[in-house]
């Protein structure tokens, strides 16, 4: 008997709720939707263009004058890799160079059979060739 009442309650209750769903309630819902629909006015593009960047940096010069400059995004470069040396020509990261050429901020000073010497304003760098290369094979008969 209890089961029958519970089952009846589960079927009858939703039907009564649907029956109470009148066109007036639909009208209220439609009215609320229409109130939300109008497009909202945001910030004008002119105002956005006039705003100053929050990423400004200030630097004081030796004379005490403040100079404004923007922060630059640092780009992470692949490390320099000496791939091959043939005579005075060298291959670094897939590009061919010769003695005296510039690679990034470095100038190629010396080319040796197993290393090269690079120099910038602040430091010197020696690049060594990887001795093991699986792509090169010698067949001796």
**Measured in whole angstroms, how far is the alpha carbon of residue 110 from the centre of its chain?**
37
In the prediction, which pLDDT does 95 show? 92
Contact 55, 68 (CB under 8 A): no
Placement of tokens 């190629």 in the chain: 108
In the prediction, which pLDDT does 54 show? 74
In the prediction, which pLDDT does 15 show? 65
User: For the purposes of burial, counting CB atoms within 10 Å of the CB of 90, is it exposed (0-12), middle (13-18) or buried (19 or more)?
Assistant: buried
Residues of the chain with pLDDT under 70: 1, 13-23, 56, 68-73, 131-141
In the prediction, which pLDDT does 136 show? 61
Residues of 65-85 as b/e, b for ≥16 C-beta within 10 angstroms?
Answer: eeeeeeeeeeeeeeeeebeeb
- Read off the tokens for 44: 């004008």
DSSP H helices in the chain: 2-19, 23-36, 45-50
In the prediction, which pLDDT does 137 show? 63
In the prediction, which pLDDT does 118 show? 93
In the prediction, which pLDDT does 138 show? 59
Instruction: Please name which of 50, 49, 68, 48 lies closest in space to residue 58, comparing C-alpha atoms.
Output: 68
């Amino acid at each position: 008997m209890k089961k029958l009442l519970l089952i009846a309650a589960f079927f009858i209750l939703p039907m009564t709720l649907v029956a109470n769903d009148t066109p007036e309630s639909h009208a209220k819902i439609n009215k609320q939707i229409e109130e939300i629909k109008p497009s909202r006015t945001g910030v004008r593009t002119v105002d956005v263009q006039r705003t100053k960047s929050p990423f400004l940096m200030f630097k004081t010069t030796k004379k005490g004058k403040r100079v404004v400059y923007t922060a630059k995004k640092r780009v992470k470069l692949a490390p320099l890799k000496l791939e091959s040396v043939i005579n005075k020509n060298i291959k670094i990261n897939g590009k061919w160079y010769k003695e005296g050429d510039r690679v990034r901020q470095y100038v190629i000073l010396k080319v040796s059979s197993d290393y090269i010497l690079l120099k910038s304003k602040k430091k010197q760098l020696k690049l060594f060739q990887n001795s093991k290369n699986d792509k090169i094979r010698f067949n001796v008969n």
